[in-house]
Chain A
Amino acid sequence: MGGGIAGLSSALELSKTGYIDVEILEKSGFLGGHAIQFACKATDRCVSCGACMVEEKLKQAVENPNIHIYSRSRIQKITKSEKFSIDIIIKPEYIDSKMCTGCGVCLDTCPFEGSVIRGFSKNNMPLHTICEDSCLYFKDKSCAKCQELCPEGAINLDSLESCHTSEVDAIIAATGFQPYNPVSKPYGYGLFDNVITNLELERTLRKNSTAARPSDGKAPKNIAFIQCVGSRDVGLNHLWCSKVCCASALRMANLIKMRQPDTKITFFYIDVQTFGKNFQAFYDEIQKNIRQIRAIPGDIYPTKDDRLQLTYFDGAKSQSVDETFDLVVLSIGLIPGQDNPDLAGLFNLEILETGFLAPVENGTSGICDGIFTAGTVQGPMSIPETIANATDVSWKTIKYLSEKDIQETQPDAQI
């Protein structure tokens, strides 16, 4: 369950044994989860951010004949006898993936923004997805432009939902995290155009390769990164470090500095976390290019010239300081996924104090045997950590399956 990097990695590891078939049930229209949206942050050298590995694994997974993918699917019913029997409902794709060439005519012709959404990876077919919530056809049938204009005739807005029943021996819940929504923080997110999240910056860099201010599209001259938004926050009872946002912010800052060298960048932080190998060298280098201030700004105000004023405590001067920026990036953290409580209930999995789901050691801790968790559904992890975690879970799944097999084929055998 879940086609993020955790789900993809588990699927690949299991299928590489050559004798395990895998089905991926993905809720959204796209595989790769959050990480497929990220930009490459290499300057002259790769900084091992792991983003391109998601692309590679996605490609391998869609090309693998033993991995069956059901996008836009949701579970309707699960029963367990010898095997799990999972009834899923698959929302229609509307765009026929065999006919679609990914030309993007649908996106260009759609009059209503947000109705046709383009995926991030070319390996995800169809590349576009139609969102029923905003599309006019589903509202009042007042528009069917994309269907009329698609040169391949690949769009059928009247496609119906379909059902599928999977018979499986084990389930891996790899439903990921959700990014913290910073609207309740005093940083004016949602109020001011030029306050964005790190996730939005990742997407912009992937799409346009440079940073721009949402309000006027101009290159920002002065950017502030604010760390630990929604993580390490006693007030929210979020007693965890999200592990990835220091790395993500500093790598993006470094990249912007290389591509737009006139940009001034300030990094507001509590503690800089170690990431990757040879961190000391990276950190020494980055301190030359990026101003670091160990303080978390309190407030933000828009100025008359469409800039943003931050107030923070300057330790060196022992006083409060006001400073204006063109763009403010909030490093939002990883928080437990929306579906965690439901999953915990459905599978009787242990839910941790933090709201993440506990790892499952041997697949026999729930009421139902054979259910595992993998990836950031367990807590914050970077891409490499997620891959390692998912691989570990795959190995546990294999052990579970072979033990189950021994029990079934030789009931008296000693294990």
Chain B
Amino acid sequence: MISQIQKAVSLTNRTLIIGNSYCALTAAKDLCNNGIDVILAVRNGGCNLPMPFDSENMGRTSIEVLLKTELVSCTGTVGNFEIILNRNGEKVIRTTTSMIIAEDHVSKSNFSSYDLKPSSGVLSLSEVADRLNNSTDTKKIFAKGGKVVFLSGLYQESHPVIVEKIMQLSLIMQSEFNVQTYILTGNLKVAGNGLEALYQKSKESGAIYLKFTDSRPDIRQKEDGKTCMAYQDEITGHQFTLTPAITIVDETIFASDYLGGLAEILRLDKDREGFLQTENVHRFNVFTNRKGIFVAGPSRAIQSRVDQNIDASCAAIANLQLLNIDNIETKDTAEINTGTCVRCLTCYRICPYRAIVIDINPQVIRQACEGCGICLAECPRHAISIKGFDKAYLPEISSKHMHRNKEGKKAPYIVAFCCSRSANQAMELAHSMGSKLPEGFTSFEMPCAGSVSVEHILAAFQKGADGILILACHEGNCHSQYGNVYAQRRVGLLKNTLKDMGFEQERLAVHTLASNMGKEFETVVTKFEKRMSALGSIMQIEQKS
């Protein structure tokens, strides 16, 4: 086996890891130890973590650490990214096979949400954690003894990563410093490994947890900077007041702002919170919309150390899998006919996988193209084709349909364009569950709902379809991220055209389904057929008009 790895390794050489997180360092070491050269580019002077291996040679492979280095540009594609970095003003050029982004997240203290100002009596969680590591400092904090209050998730939902920190600190304070701690919390986030057990342990050590549901404590900051709180116990209804020596305010974790810049340079999709991975389940674990660019650890979501370790492995294995050519090649990819192309750059803008580059003319990078067909459906000049997809397709509609019409069937003729990953799977599931689909129902498997072009739809109508369904993935679940959105938009436009032509708009509809929705597939199709039955054959309208 090792010979296979070595052979593969000689094909590739290098991975660029961008980031300062624990995850970035772990992935760097791990890849290096396993035969892959690594360049580690860290934006700031260095991370808080030990960096033991500057330009160290680790056996067969090497690691190059570039500090104060930012990504400037990146061209090329998986297997051959051309990278320009800025290292403290100096331009550094490298070529790499793949890229891993693992920049740490940032925490900000929630002083303002509690209407508090930092003072000697009001501290942030990180500050306390730092000071607890420094023994002389700790004595100073706890010299006067007294009570310590943690404020957690009262105005914003907290996160297990933060709650774990709070519970650990409380446990240390209770058991080592004999300080009475109170944790004032909304929903206590214990959905992390071992957190419920830690919670029980900290309660046993004497920590008092006060949970708030509908009410909130009344927190005021006194002139000496310390706080005074009044609250009602939710079970007994009694009023209490607390005047802690120290109030510790929780934190919220955000995506690093560096990620925004990286997203722009690398043309990556972001989620609503600025992480470089959408909620799309097809991106599990470390995938982005670009082949060969992985996003791991705190650059894709809020993560604990344990999660970051796992992500480092996921990124490493994804890297290794790139060496297997089967994982890179797509069977049928798009091709641009430069003769008809007018260089409008629509395809360049919309390709969700960023597989189209501009090199005088737009060109499809074969390795990066996933064959989704979105560009083909959007190109105003019909300059793009995918082998085995467009040319063979439209005649197929007609022949199937002609066959039906000759039989003179009364059942409405319904054409469904089904996304291969979702609706087509759901249809097969419906069949296997014994669902009966309507008689005049015909379906076509499409690589993505976004590849159903206006021409497909018009051709189907022309051949006498009474109703057309476009069955796509749910919003946020499309493998091509926006395929379903394009489908919706196209149908929206076409509906107006239908109306102008005197047809009912309902004859064209988009529905979303997942691969496991066999029953719902049957429901959608049956309902649609009923409606089309009620509307009557499209031929009649055509004759009338």
Contacts and interface: CB of A to CB of B under 8 A. Distances in A.
Q: Do A and B come from one complex?
A: yes
Interface of A: 13, 16-20, 38-40, 42, 44-46, 48, 50-53, 55-56, 59, 102-104, 121-122, 127, 206-209, 231-232, 234, 239-241, 243, 246, 271-281, 283, 294, 313, 315-316, 318, 354, 379, 384, 387-389, 391-392, 394-396, 398-399, 401-402, 405-406, 409
B191 A241 contact: yes
Given A208-B519, A388-B314, A402-B1, A271 B279 contact: no
A38 B515 CA distance: 12
Given A40-B520, A277-B272, 19 more contacts: A16-B324, A18-B321, A53-B282, A53-B284, A55-B515, A122-B428, A207-B519, A232-B190, A234-B200, A239-B200, A240-B194, A272-B157, A272-B187, A280-B157, A387-B284, A394-B317, A395-B317, A398-B317, A401-B1
Contact of B195 (A53, A241, A387): A241
Contacts of B379: none
A180 B193 CA distance: 18
Contacts of A379: 193
B279 A42 contact: no
Contacts, number: 205
Contact of B157 (A46, A231, A283, A394): A283
Contacts of B280: 46, 48
B473 A239 contact: no
B2 A209 contact: no
B5 A271 contact: no
A70 to B, nearest CB: 22
Contacts of B195: 241
Contacts of B5: 19, 402
B314 A278 contact: no
B197 interface: yes
Interface stretch (B165-173, B229-237, B408-416, B447-455): B229-237
A71 B240 CA distance: 61
Contacts of B316: 395
Contacts of A239: 196-197, 200
B211 interface: yes
B452 to A, nearest CB: 20
Contacts of A44: 474-475, 512
Interface stretch (B336-344, B346-354, B357-365, B429-437): B429-437
Contacts of A240: 194, 196-197
Contacts of A277: 271-273, 275, 279, 301
Nearest to A54: B516
Nearest to B317: A395
Which 8 residue pairs are nearest across A and B when measured between Cβ atoms? A18-B324, A46-B477, A273-B191, A395-B313, A122-B432, A40-B514, A46-B474, A42-B474
Contacts of A243: 191-192
Contact of B313 (A17, A102, A275, A391): A391
B134 interface: no
A315 B191 CA distance: 24
Contacts of B310: 388-389, 391-392
Given A45-B476, A56-B421, A17 B158 contact: no
Interface in B164-193: 187-193
B314 A391 contact: yes
Contacts of B214: 315-316
B113 to A, nearest CB: 12
A105 B236 CA distance: 61
B191 A388 contact: no
B190 A46 contact: no
Nearest to B188: A271
B62 interface: no
A395 B312 CA distance: 10
Contacts of A50: 281, 284
6 contacts: A18-B321, A40-B520, A53-B282, A56-B515, A206-B516, A209-B519
A363 to B, nearest CB: 13
B211 A294 contact: yes
A51 B516 CA distance: 8
Interface residues of B, number: 80
A274 B158 contact: yes
A276 B514 contact: no
Contacts of B317: 13, 17, 391, 394-395, 398
B333 interface: no
Interface in B293-341: 301, 307, 309-311, 313-314, 316-317, 320-321, 323-327
Contacts of B188: 271
B15 interface: no
B213 interface: yes
Nearest to A20: B1
Contacts of B196: 231-232, 239-241
Contact of B189 (A271, A294, A392): A271
Residue of B273, B285, B520 with most chain A CB atoms under a 10 A cut-off: B285
A121 B430 CA distance: 10
Given A52-B281, A208-B519, A239-B200, A395 B191 contact: no
Contact of A46 (B307, B421, B476): B476
Contact of A273 (B187, B271, B272, B475): B187
A283 B153 CA distance: 13
B301 A392 contact: no
B284 A392 contact: no
B514 A46 contact: yes
A278 B272 contact: yes
B523 interface: yes
Contact of B516 (A39, A232, A278): A39
Given A55-B515, A243-B191, A379-B193, A209 B477 contact: no
Contacts of A384: 281, 284-285
A298 to B, nearest CB: 14
B417 to A, nearest CB: 19
B328 to A, nearest CB: 11
A42 B421 CA distance: 16
Interface in B200-251: 200, 211, 213-214, 234-237
B284 to A, nearest CB: 5
Contacts of A17: 317, 320-321, 323-324
Contacts of A122: 425, 428-429, 431-432, 518
B213 A315 contact: yes
Contact of B190 (A48, A241, A278): A241
Contacts of B523: 209
Contacts of B433: 207
A296 to B, nearest CB: 13
Contacts of A274: 157-160, 187, 189, 191
Nearest to A206: B516
A366 B344 CA distance: 62
A63 to B, nearest CB: 13
B4 interface: yes
Contacts of B473: 46
B431 A104 contact: no
A103 B432 CA distance: 7
Nearest to A124: B432
A358 B320 CA distance: 26
Nearest to A208: B519
B399 interface: no
B517 interface: yes
Contacts of A402: 1-2, 5, 34
B476 A48 contact: yes
Contacts of A55: 425, 515-516
Contacts of A316: 214
A315 B316 CA distance: 50
Contacts of B12: none
Nearest to B432: A122
Contacts of B311: 388
Contacts of A40: 474, 513-514, 516-517, 520
B516 A52 contact: yes
Contacts of A315: 213-214, 234-235
Contacts of A38: 516
